[in-house]
Amino acid sequence: MNKSSLDRILQSQGVGTRKWCRQLIEAGEVSVHGEIVTDYKRSFETSGLRFRLFDEDWEYREFVYLALNKPPDVECSRKPSHRPGVMSLLPEEFSWRGVQAIGRLDHDTTGLLLLTDDGSFNHAMSSPKRHVPKLYLATTQDPVTPALVEHLLKGVQLSDEPAPLAALRCEPRGTHQVEIVIEQGKYHQVKRMLAAAGNHCAALQRIAVGRLTLESLALQEGEWRYLDTAELALLSTEAA
């Protein structure tokens, strides 16, 4: 069993500072199992715990795992410099919890972005040793040719890389779009690979990580939701 005092529980869920959580409890703003609790020291079993705050129901989560359909002109940094940050698209409690993006998408790249406050999970998903494939849909300035596809599959040399980088899979989608699967996640990798292969990336969308697809999540741009256990299991090293 994992029990904790009510003020610590609220703080862990991103309600606010410990002091603020205590004030809310003492003011009678928090109920657990239908009972208003005013003693912030009172302990509860966290597994399956639900509480109510400001007429809103909360479910205790040790960690959160989120999927966001990132819109354009949004930065993934927690301290954005020139544009709004992705945290501005999420409820405030996630900032209090320390939620961070797993890897980054460029400000003009859209699509599937994963976020969590589970540091171990974030590290494992970001590690090059994990080899998690990511599927991108790139819109190109010039037509997609068989030579371009072959070049990307064989590998292109980027200026700051010791060895050529190759797409795991590369398939044309119409005259000016191509699906590209990579696993490295280097800086501006897909854009730079296309440039090195003689084309230009006009738009880029990440449409899958592992076997988890943006389509299956049914998220509009700017929308987010929690990932369940089955969806987390799709974030494997198997190709997207």
CATH code for position 118: 3.30.70.580
What is the three-class DSSP state of 219? coil
Is the domain of 196 the same as that of 149?
A: yes
Do 124 and 217 fall into the same domain? yes
Residue 23 buriedness (CB in 10 A; 0-12 / 13-18 / 19+) = middle
Do 115 and 223 belong to one domain? yes
Question: What's residue 239's pLDDT?
Answer: 56
Number of independent structural domains in the chain:
3
Return the residue matching tokens 């996630």.
94
Q: Please state, in angstroms and as integers, the Cα–Cα distance from residue 209 to each residue in 35, 172, 176, 183, 205, following that order.
A: 42, 19, 23, 9, 12
Residue finishing a domain among 20, 38, 59: 59
Closest Cα partner for 89 from 123, 115, 65?
Answer: 115
- What lies within 8 Å, CB to CB, of 120 at 6+ separation is none
Within this chain, do residues 138 and 173 fall inside the same structural domain, yes or no? yes
Structure tokens at 72: 């354009």
Are 67 and 234 spatial neighbours (Cβ–Cβ below 8 Å)? no
pLDDT at 131: 78
Which amino acids are annotated catalytic? 106
Residues 6+ apart with CB under 8 A from 178: 137, 138, 140, 144, 148, 149, 152, 170, 171, 172
Shared-domain flag, residues 53 and 10: yes
Q: How many CB atoms lie within 10 A of CB 183?
A: 17
Which residues contact residue 233 at a Cβ distance below 8 angstroms, ignoring those fewer than 6 apart? none
Is residue 240 situated within a structural domain?
no
Q: Which domain holds residue 98?
A: 65-129+212-233
Q: How much is the pLDDT for 104?
A: 87
Contact 140, 173 (CB under 8 A): no
pLDDT, block means (10 residues), the chain with 240 residues: 92 96 97 95 96 94 97 86 90 94 92 96 83 93 96 91 90 96 87 94 96 96 96 78
Exposed / middle / buried, residue 69 (Cβ in 10 Å: 0-12, 13-18, 19+): buried
> Element (H or E) spanning 50, and its range?
strand 50-53
